Amino acid sequence: QKEVEQNSGPLSVPEGAIASLNCTYSDRGSQSFFWYRQYSGKSPELIMSIYSNGDKEDGRFTAQLNKASQYVSLLIRDSQPSDSATYLCAVNPFYNQGGKLIFGQGTELSVKP
Amino acid sequence: DGGITQSPKYLFRKEGQNVTLSCEQNLNHDAMYWYRQDPGQGLRLIYYSQIVNDFQKGDIAEGYSVSREKKESFPLTVTSAQKNPTAFYLCASGDRLSSYEQYFGPGTRLTVT
């Protein structure tokens, strides 16, 4: 079982719709969770961090964390073509003492005008 | 401006040559990381360092070497022993106080022929 799993996609949504990106993780003791956006040919950019169960909203982005079910999701409301990118989920596992994040393989999102 | 710089943006080398990639950060982060990304693939950790004069191997350290003589700098040398060095190399930094959320530099695209 991979430590952090994401659907590779591509996930295609129409402009204005809600895009839902999901991530599951294996280490039950994980404490910190991050979403990164990576445009083609560019480096990853941190867009959301979440540490406690529930929802965290930042503009059009909402991160949702459910530690009991070991999943974290990212919702993008009113999706725009400029949101088309690969979204990486990253987890800081409990056993990790050196700040190594475990990254998923990423989900490619395509927002169609 | 606080951030992470990597240089050069593009680098071309002949097979058999060692090459050093630069990474500098002025975020006052203790931890620094080097990742490799191949086309259509996720991030793979090469080396990381939590503190000056100390570093640990990541998942794919063979054929690479690093040093951490200053807090701000974490150069990566790609040696001739690395079998497939052509890739996109990403440097990141993070801090324990922010649960190691990582910030990435713009990356160096290395081509070896």
pLDDT digits (tens, 9 = 90+) for B64-94: 999 999 999 999 999 999 999 999 999 999 9
d(CA B56, CA A31): 22
Mean pLDDT of B2-29: 94
For residue B41, which residues of chain A lie inside 8 Å, CB to CB? Answer: 105
Q: Which of A101, A103, A107 is best to mutate for the B interface (most B CBs within 10 A)? A: A101
A4 near A71, Cβ under 8 Å? Answer: no
Q: Does residue B98 sit in helix, strand or coil?
A: helix
**Amino acid occupying residue B31:** A
Query: B100 and A32 in contact by Cβ < 8 A?
Result: yes
What is the per-residue pLDDT across A83-110, written as a single tens digit (0 to 9) for each? 999 999 999 987 666 688 999 999 999 9
Assigned token pair, B67 = 């040093």
